[in-house]
Structures are given as C-alpha cells and as structure tokens.
Amino acid sequence: MNTIPRDFDPIPSTRYQVRVAVVPLKQAADEADALAVPVAAGVEPPEELGTDLAGLESAGFTGKRGQTLVLPRADGPVRVAVGIGDRGEADATLVRDLAAEFARAVPWHKKLAVEVASEDFGVSVADFAQAVTEGVLLARWRYFVGRDAEQPTLESLLIVASDDDTAAAGVERGRIVAAACSLGRDLANCPATTLSAVRMAEVAAEVGGAAGLEVEIFDKEQLIAMGCGGILGVNRGSVEPPRMVRLRYQPADPTGRIALIGKGVMYDSGGISLKPSDESHAQMKNDMTGAAAVLASMTALRDLGCTAAVTGYLMCTDNMPSGSAMKLGDVLTMRNGTTVEVLNTDAEGRLVMADALALATEEPVDAIVDIATLTGACLRTFGVEIAGVMGNNSGVVEQLRRAGDSVDEPVWELPLHRSYRSQLDSTIADLTNMGGVNAGSITAALFLEEFIDGKPWAHVDIAGTAQLPAPRTWRNKGATGFGTKLLIEFALRFARPTGGAA
Ligand code: BES
Ligand code: ZN
Ligand code: ZN
C-alpha cells in the first residue's frame, strides 16, 4: 500500500476558477491588464493599438501568423499585437492558436481581454468565443506543486462582444472543454506515487460524481471474481492494488451507445522486462493518459448536452518488477477466456485493455473506442503531434478522424493488416503479447482485436502525443493529456456507424 503521506492534491489546476465574461469594449479597457489586437500582414493596424504599420515594422513586427508584440501604455491595458498573417483560410484552430500565443506573450498579466473578430476569421461568434476561451485557458494552465502553487496564473478572461448571448454560449462551451482538458493534464502530470490506481479511482469518484456520472469502482477481489486475468497479471509485481473504474453517462433516449476504454498504467517500469533508465522511462508516469482522457472527457458530456450514452472503463495499475511479478512465459487467462503467453512484461498495455474490451462487448454497444499509450512504434511513426488509429469499422475510424481534425488533436489511420496476426501465435496458448520487431503498432492493435467479438471498434494509440518536449500554442510541455478534446468531440458528433468492416 501507499505508505507516503498524501503530500499534495493530484489535480491542483482544477481548483482554481478563472472568471470568463462577455463584456463591452469600454469595460474590458477599464478592467483588463492586457488586450489582444489582431493585425494582418502588411495592413495598417486598428487605431486602438496606438501605433501604425511603420511603428510596428520598426519593432520587427510584420503581422506574420502567430507573431506577438507587447506595446506598453501609460494608460489602460497593454496592447498585444497578434499577427494573423494573410486574411483568408482561417478557422477555429487558428483562432485557438492565436489566442494561446497572446496569453503566452503576457505571462505575468492576470486579466486578459480579447475582442471577438469572427468575421475576419470566417467563424461564427460562438465558435470564435469558444476557441479564444480554450486557447487562453489552456495556454495558461500549469501543473505546479511547489511553494507558490496556490497562486492562480490567470484571474479573468474578458471576451469583448456586442452579441452577448451567442458569445456567452461559446464561452461556456470553451470553459467546459478547457476544464476537462485541464483535468486530463493534471492527472497525466501527477507523479505515479501520489496518483496510485487507488487514488485515481478516488479522483474518478469525486469528479465523475460532480459531473453527473455513475461511478463504480472494482477492487482486486472483484476483478478476481470477474476473471480479469490481464489487469491482475500486470498488477502482480506491484505493492499498489489495481482498480477498474466504470463510468456511465446515461442521457434520456440516447441516440447511440459508446464504450470508451482507457489504459491506466499509473507507472510503467516495464516489469521484469525492465525499461532502461532513460528519458522515455522517466516519462512513464504518463502511461495512464488514455484513462485520464476517458475520465476527463466524460466529465464534460452532461454540460455539453451529449445525446449518446457513454460507458467508460479505466484500467488502473502499476507495472512493476518484484518477486511476485509476472514471469516471461507465464500464461494469463483473460476475461473472455482467451489465454495469453506473456513473452515481454513491458507489453502490458494490451493485457490490461483486453479485459475491458471483453467486458464492453458484453453489453449492447454501437461502437467501442480504446485509447492507450500503447507502443513506442507509434511515437516513431507519427512523432508527438499525431495519434495513430486502427479499427475494424471504417465508420468509427472516420468519425474519430473528423473529430480530431475539428479540435486539433489529429489522428491518422494505420492499416490493420491481418496477415501480421500470425506474429502473435503462441505454441502453448491462444496468443502471445509480443509481435515481431517491426509494425509494432499494428500487431498491438491486432492483439486488441481478439477481444472485441466483432463489434464496431477503433483503437487510438497516443504513445507519441502523450508528452511534448516544448509548449506550442495551447499545448503544454510534459504530459499533455492528449485525447480529452478528441473523445468529447467524438461523443458529441457520434452517429451509429454505417461503415463496413475495415
Ligand atoms: N507504455 C509503453 C509504450 C510507450 C513507449 C508509451 C514510449 C509512450 C512512449 C508500452 O507499455 C510499451 O512498453 N510497449 C512496448 C511493447 C513491446 C515490448 C512489444 C514498446 O513499444 O516497446
Ligand atoms: Zn510497457
Ligand atoms: Zn505501457
């Protein structure tokens, strides 16, 4: 059991509330300490900037997309020129990015203001307000548990608009999405000893309950009774007990039924197949980012009016080496009766996911989506900005791709090439957990497919996107919590898949 004191709150950023309000320009000028002013390339800037094109150019500001310049003033808020580049080909993604650049340009200012300029960007007032809210709140999010942890980095965001109702609706959606992402990031960044599987389940009960979800927590004895040999096998080396959390969002007259399954390996040492003590090992507290994204996204569903029913499974355990750990060559019996010969204890993600996939198929469901930091091969393939997706149903895969595009969490499909399935053949069991050296992301997905009983399914591999080496626009450095926005959007737009087998 966890013997250290509970030294800090695992989800600190969710405790402070940033005030986001729609106000007239005069009020923003009185209250804000920094005001964003969009400036197109080579065009005279609006008067409120207090300087002209020549003045900007003399300071090296050309209006290039994403460029910022802070202009001090004797009176009122500092003006921040934000380059929008050439007009045209703009969308909500650009608005979100530029709002984030603005927020990062004035890191010490606590009251920011942005004027709605939806026409310039070809998006609706509501979408503009939502994108600004997300961009600013997420750019200014931070995970910090040191001395001034209580100091909020941002107090208020003022959205300047005349049409308050439409703008306010966008602000509200942006606030809900940003809060969910912040939760996902907090969980991903919290150290593994503080955020054990037990603690993760406690957080799920707290935030899930507050968001109107039904939360069921399954302990080790219950998992034994349920025959969940995958998560139990992985847990064997750990002194921390496992937890499975099942979350349910149940709207009246649902328009579809989705199951979301998240890998919650709270810390992946590799087990007996111990990882080397390199940089990638040092990031393995984020091996629960899939579970974080499932939990975080589900906290937003009620408030965003999702009409599909969603059941979430968080598969939470450490993967540790010890005298009681899984041995190479051991055979596990999974929830659906499949036997698996463990040839590498570091391929543990597929083992914990298998039990939940099998459980998800036992109830009526229109689509199963799993999300996991599953393979280093996916990081090699796509880098840190694109997640991989594979599945047995082109409709589910396509809905994920579209959702990812629209929220700027891109996913790209790899082929689920079935002839590679023979790489998972075992001499003594139904399959092994280890494919060959090549196409590791694909063989991992083929392993998962053994547990979905032909139901429409897609698997999202976020091993690459789970961490970023440097911040970029609204994306943070470190453990990112990638997937929260993707899953929210997928659930909101969900339509029963008509697509055939992929
Ligand atoms: N959690 C890792 C995958 C990972 C790697 C996530 C890098 C994020 C960054 C996973 O459990 C793992 O170790 N996978 C092995 C599988 C192999 C042993 C078949 C891998 O990818 O090397
Ligand atoms: Zn591993
Ligand atoms: Zn792992």
Does position 6 have pLDDT exceeding 60, yes or no? no
Mutate to test the pocket of ligand 1, among 353, 375, 379, 380 (most ligand atoms within 8 A of CB): 375
Burial class (CB in 10 A: 0-12, 13-18, 19+), 484: buried
Does position 163 have pLDDT exceeding 90, yes or no? no
Burial class (CB in 10 A: 0-12, 13-18, 19+), 205: middle
> What mean pLDDT comes out for the span 81-86?
93
Q: Which ligand is nearest to the CA of 269?
A: 2
Q: What is the pLDDT of residues 454-477, one digit of tens each?
A: 999 999 999 999 999 999 999 999
Q: Which of 236, 350, 455, 475 is catalytic?
A: 350
Q: Which of 275, 302, 402, 472 is catalytic?
A: 275
Structural domain boundaries of the chain? Answer: 12-183, 207-492
Q: Is the CB of 55 under 6 A from ligand 1?
A: no
Q: What is the pLDDT of residue 164?
A: 77
Q: What is the pLDDT of residue 499?
A: 59
CATH fold of 207-492, please? Aminopeptidase (3.40.630)
> What mean pLDDT comes out for the span 56-76?
95
Q: What is the pLDDT of residues 19-43, one digit of tens each?
A: 999 999 999 999 999 999 999 999 9
Q: Is the CB of 379 under 6 A from ligand 1?
A: yes
> What mean pLDDT comes out for the span 142-151?
79
Q: What is the pLDDT of residue 430?
A: 98
CATH number of 12-183: 3.40.220.10
> What mean pLDDT comes out for the span 165-187?
97
Using 50, 70 and 90 to split pLDDT, how confident is the model at 500? low
With a CB cutoff of 8 Å and minimum separation 6, the contacts of 298 are 208, 211, 213, 247, 249, 260, 310, 312, 487
Does position 204 have pLDDT exceeding 60, yes or no? yes
Q: What percent of the chain has pLDDT over 90?
A: 90
> What mean pLDDT comes out for the span 39-58?
93
Does position 5 have pLDDT exceeding 60, yes or no? no
> What mean pLDDT comes out for the span 52-76?
95
β-pairing verdict for 457-461 and 367-372:
parallel
- Interatomic CA distance for residues 411 and 391, integer angstroms: 12
Q: Is the CB of 372 under 6 A from ligand 1?
A: no
Ligand 1 atom index nearest CA of 270:
13
Q: Is the CB of 442 under 6 A from ligand 1?
A: no
Q: What is the pLDDT of residue 445?
A: 98
| 263 CA to centre of ligand 3 in angstroms | 8
Specify whether 275 is catalytic.
yes
Q: Is the CB of 344 under 6 A from ligand 1?
A: yes
| 254 CA to centre of ligand 1 in angstroms | 36
Q: Is the CB of 461 under 6 A from ligand 1?
A: no
Specify whether 350 is catalytic.
yes
Does position 1 have pLDDT exceeding 70, yes or no? no
Rounded to two decimals, the pTM is: 0.97
| 349 CA to centre of ligand 3 in angstroms | 5
- Interatomic CA distance for residues 129 and 123, integer angstroms: 10
Q: What percent of the chain has pLDDT over 70?
A: 97
Q: What is the pLDDT of residues 150-159, one digit of tens each?
A: 676 899 999 9
- Hey, what amino acid is at 136? V
> What mean pLDDT comes out for the span 477-500?
93
Residue nearest to atom 8 of ligand 1 (CA): 463
Q: What is the pLDDT of residues 367-391, one digit of tens each?
A: 999 999 999 999 999 999 999 999 9
Q: What is the pLDDT of residue 146?
A: 80
Q: What is the pLDDT of residue 4?
A: 59
With a CB cutoff of 8 Å and minimum separation 6, the contacts of 143 are 12, 13, 185, 186, 189, 190, 478
Asked if residue 308 lies in contact with residue 491, where contact means CB atoms within 8 angstroms, the answer is yes
β-pairing verdict for 331-333 and 387-391:
unpaired
| 378 CA to centre of ligand 2 in angstroms | 13
Does position 502 have pLDDT exceeding 60, yes or no? no
Strand partners, 389: 413, 460
